[in-house]
Amino acid sequence: MIKITKVTVQKRIKGRYNLFIDRGAGEEYGFSVDEAILLKYGLKKGLELEENELTEVIEKDEEKKTHHLALNFLSYRMRSIHEMEEYLTKKERHPEHVERVISKLIELKFLNDQEFSKAYVESKKLTLLKGPMKLRQELMQKGVGPQYIAEALETFPEEEQVEKMIKWLEKKEARKPKQSLSSFKQKLATQLMAKGFSRQAIQLALNEVTFTVDNSEELEALMFQGDKLKRKYSTKYEGWEYKQRMKQALYQKGFSLDMISTYLSQEQEDE
């Protein structure tokens, strides 16, 4: 038999107790337990336990530790079931304890992938500019099933996506110099695609934003890009081929053919 000789309160961790035991060779530190386990098994000074009973107490306390870890993880924000399982596994908790704790949390509705996915989408809508494709990818990485993801994304219709992109585009409207308006708009579209929006929704947003066209800025950008290309092509090509290379490259950078022709004519006059 194992006799409990002393029970003391832990100073550093609230709600945990140290138990000292005697196995027949004098008092020694035995183990610590959560207050709930202490009360459940009536652990107190003088109580005698069989070895298998002691093993059961320690086993239940380990499960209780896993439960506390899970609750602490949930205290910061909602979690998916997969996130919780991954977290507890990384904490090297016993697989059986992890399974039982997660089952209990699901039963108590502390873990609910359907509600989690809806809350996740709503939170990102309010704090970040992220499109449905990006949100879908992130929810899949968190182990949420496709049905729940689809339900959550229904709360983020295309009209709302376009509205959010318009606000973002309006802040970007003051474009950087030395870049054509067309190139700038393409750059913004590429950024929005990286954020997870569809081409269709992006185009709808771009159509709603009026970008100021400053001819002097456009000309300055054309001259800057043209001079760069001139240094690249002038040593390799000449005559008609040089002119066609320049025209094609500048057109790909978003400048109009009229402006390109004016620039090339002026360049020819300067030679």
Cβ(165)–Cβ(197) below 8 Å: yes
- The 48-49 sheet, strands edge to edge: 27-34, 16-22, 2-9, 48-49
**What is the bridge-based pairing of β-strands 27-34 and 48-49?**
unpaired
The structural domains of the chain, with segments of one domain joined by +, span: 2-76, 157-213, 216-270
Asked if domains 2-76 and 157-213 share a fold, the reply is: yes
pLDDT value of residue 268: 58
**Over residues 81-99, mean pLDDT:** 97
Residue range 222-264, pLDDT digits in tens: 878 888 888 888 778 878 888 888 888 888 888 888 778 877 8
CA dist., res. 110 & res. 125, Å (int): 23
Instruction: Count other Cβ atoms within 10 Å, centred on residue 22.
Output: 16
The tokens for 146 are 């496709």
pLDDT value of residue 84: 98
Residue range 7-40, pLDDT digits in tens: 999 988 889 999 999 998 899 999 999 999 999 9
The tokens for 128 are 């970040």
The domain made up of 2-76 has a fold known as: Arc Repressor Mutant, subunit A (1.10.10)
CA dist., res. 234 & res. 222, Å (int): 17
**Over residues 172-176, mean pLDDT:** 71
**One-letter identity of residue 105:** L
> pTM for the full model?
0.75
**Residue among 176, 270, 257, 258 nearest 224 (CA):** 176
Q: Residue 99: in which H helix or E strand, if any?
A: helix 95-107
Cβ(98)–Cβ(74) below 8 Å: no
pLDDT value of residue 46: 94
Residue range 45-66, pLDDT digits in tens: 999 999 999 999 999 999 999 9
Backbone angles phi, psi at 53, to 5 degrees: -70, -40
CA dist., res. 270 & res. 267, Å (int): 5
Q: Measured between alpha carbons, how far apart are the two ends of the chain, in Å?
A: 106
CA dist., res. 19 & res. 41, Å (int): 13
**pLDDT value at 135 more than 70:** yes
> Which of 3.30.390, 1.10.357, 1.10.10, 3.30.70 is the CATH number of 157-213?
1.10.10
**pLDDT value at 217 more than 90:** no
Measured CA distances, 126 to 121, 160, 207 (Å): 9, 12, 24
